[in-house]
């Protein structure tokens, strides 16, 4: 049962479809002059999908403050229905990635049915050993999978294995592991000892993976640790994944790199060595800001997709954002469009001509060939894909016309203010 009345979407589309048809035909003519068939691009666009972060459906915060939004979801069931609204309007996010224990339920099989009934399925599940949870014996204050304290390591391994068990009941096929383990001061811990303890723990988790599952290792330069992080960069991540085995892959979170890092090359290298397992999309200007994807550096996002398309890579595509000021549903709709838009632009790159210019070392024509695709306005293709799939030509206008958030603010308790990322 879709959360919004489909008539609302049809009514919204009525006023927009004629203009869309015109824009789509015009773009079709433009692309035809480039020997590109817009219908084949539309088909590939309809085939593209990504996962929503359960933790991004509520309002996010910083260490300074979190400002609740009346009507924001307060539990996994409300998050699921908000995710279903995004899927009904945007038609490109049919999966949701859960985070345990934040989304833990006593009956995962029932949650799976609840999701499927709303057109959603589950992508990778995320473990959480970066916070202490009620009732746990050993603290993660000094680390989890890499902790010197064996109880903390054992507890963290058991938590990850429990996440696999929950994920299996949900129909997931991947465990995503990001740990905050690291140090704030030189000398605080042995840098090699910490990695070796991590590898020992990771092997135990790897051994518990079902044959058709992947383990996604997510690197991050810093935060919450501010001097060293055990899995700090793609180099450590790929070495760990190679050490663990074929089911271990690397997850690239766009915001987890030093400013100026060539992230598209990190992605290209991981693809080259068969170790790119997933991407966490977001945007940032300084640190791990978790801003809306494409809001700060849309060209970088395009260049990442240029590598993914050039190498026909299809890892787990997931959004990982924190919405501190905007309505999470609106931000996720706009971010999904930015991501698909980058994918579609990457499809428009004239790769034969690009290769010719690269072979001739014609630097100007090579960069212009890539730029031409980036500068193509593909919004008519994105809107037509939504229309063809039963979604909204203008998802934000349709969402606002639905009155969903106002209605939910009457039903849902106001979430607590505070200071935390979720």
- CB nearer ligand LRH, residue 288 or residue 337: 288
DSSP readout, 402-421?
Answer: HTHHHHHHHHSPPPP-BSS-
Minimum distance, C-beta of residue 356 to ligand LRH, in the bound complex (Å): 40
What is the full DSSP assignment across 128-157?
Answer: --SS--TT-SS--TT-STT-SSHHHHHHHH
Residue 129 binding result from ligand LRH, Mn ion, none, given CB thresholds of 5 to 8 Å by partner type: none
CA gap 205, 156 in Å, rounded: 10
DSSP 96-137: EE-BTTTT--S-HHHHHHHHHTTT-EE--EE---SS--TT-S
288 binds, among Mn ion, ligand LRH, none (CB under 5 to 8 A by kind): ligand LRH
Name which position in 218, 283, 327, 394 contacts ligand LRH (CB under 6 A): 218
The reply on whether position 123 binds Mn ion by CB under 5 A is no
Site membership for Mn ion, residue 253 (CB under 5 A): yes
Strand 228-229 relative to strand 182-183, pairing: antiparallel
The interface with Mn ion within residues 10-29 (CB under 5 A) comprises: none
Comparison of 55 and 305: residue with beta carbon closer to ligand LRH:
55
We find the least distance from the C-beta atom of residue 282 to ligand LRH, in angstroms, to be: 8
What is the distance between the alpha carbons of residues 289 and 329, in angstroms, rounded to a whole number?
Answer: 18
Question: Residues 106-145: x/- map of binding to ligand LRH (CB under 6 A)?
Answer: --------------------x-------------------
Which of 79, 95, 247, 280 is in the footprint of Mn ion by CB under 5 A?
280
Site pattern 20..59 for ligand LRH (x: CB under 6 A): -----------------------------------x----
Question: Which of 288, 292, 307, 327: binder of ligand LRH (CB under 6 A)?
Answer: 288
Closest CB 297 distance from Mn ion, rounded Å? 17
| Burial class of residue 220 in the structure, from the number of CB atoms within 10 Å of its CB (0-12 exposed, 13-18 middle, 19+ buried) | buried
**Tokens found for residue 7:** 């008539």
Say whether residue 283 binds Mn ion (CB under 5 A).
no
d(CA 157, CA 51): 25
Closer to ligand LRH at the Cβ: 88 or 97?
Answer: 97
- Look up tokens 């001097």; give the residue: 227
Burial tier of 135 (Cβ tally within 10 Å: 0-12, 13-18, 19+): exposed
Q: Does 220 bind ligand LRH (CB under 6 A)?
A: yes
Asked whether 348 and 376 are in contact (CB, 8 A), the reply is: yes
Greatest alpha-carbon pair distance for the chain in Å reads 66
State the residues that interact with Mn ion by CB under 5 A.
Answer: 253, 280, 320
State the residues that interact with ligand LRH by CB under 6 A.
Answer: 55, 126, 178, 218, 220, 253, 280, 288, 320
């Amino acid at each position: 049962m879709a959360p919004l009345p489909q008539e609302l979407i049809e009514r919204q589309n009525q006023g927009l479809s004629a203009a869309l048809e015109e824009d789509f035909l015009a773009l079709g003519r433009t692309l035809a002059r480039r020997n590109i068939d817009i219908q084949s691009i539309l088909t590939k666009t309809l085939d593209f999908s990504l996962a929503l972060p359960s933790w991004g459906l509520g309002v996010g915060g910083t260490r300074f403050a979190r400002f609740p939004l009346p009507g924001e979801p307060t539990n996994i069931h409300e998050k699921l229905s908000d995710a279903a609204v995004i899927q009904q309007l945007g038609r490109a996010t049919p999966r949701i990635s859960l985070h345990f224990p934040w989304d833990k339920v006593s009956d995962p099989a029932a949650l799976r049915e609840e999701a499927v009934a709303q057109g959603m399925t589950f992508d990778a599940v995320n473990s959480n050993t970066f916070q202490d949870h009620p009732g746990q014996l050993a603290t993660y204050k000094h680390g989890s999978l890499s902790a010197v304290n064996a109880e903390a390591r054992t507890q963290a391994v058991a938590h990850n294995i429990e996440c696999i068990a929950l994920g299996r009941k949900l129909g997931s096929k991947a465990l995503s592991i990001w740990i905050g383990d690291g140090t704030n001061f030189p000398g605080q811990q042995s840098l090699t000892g910490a990695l070796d303890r991590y590898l020992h723990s990771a092997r135990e988790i790897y051994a518990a993976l079902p044959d058709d599952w992947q383990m996604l290792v997510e690197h991050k330069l810093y935060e919450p640790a501010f001097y060293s992080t055990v899995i700090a960069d793609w180099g450590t991540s790929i070495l760990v994944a190679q050490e663990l085995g074929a089911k271990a892959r690397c997850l690239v979170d766009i915001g987890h790199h030093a400013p100026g890092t060539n992230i598209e090359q990190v992605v290209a290298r991981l693809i080259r060595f068969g170790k790119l397992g997933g991407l966490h999309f977001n945007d940032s200007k300084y640190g791990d800001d978790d801003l809306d994807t494409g809001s700060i550096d849309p060209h970088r996002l395009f260049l990442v997709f240029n590598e993914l398309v050039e190498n026909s890579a299809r890892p787990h595509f997931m959004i990982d954002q924190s919405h501190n000021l905007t309505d999470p549903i609106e931000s996720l709709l706009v971010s999904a469009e930015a991501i698909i838009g980058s994918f579609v632009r990457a499809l428009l790159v004239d790769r034969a001509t690009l290769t010719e210019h690269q072979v001739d070392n014609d630097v100007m024509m090579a960069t212009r060939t890539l730029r031409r695709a980036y500068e193509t306005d593909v919004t008519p293709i994105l809107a037509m894909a939504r229309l063809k799939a039963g979604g909204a030509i203008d998802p934000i206008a349709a969402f606002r016309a639905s009155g969903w958030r106002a209605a939910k603010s009457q039903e849902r308790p106001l979430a607590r203010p505070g200071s935390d990322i979720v």
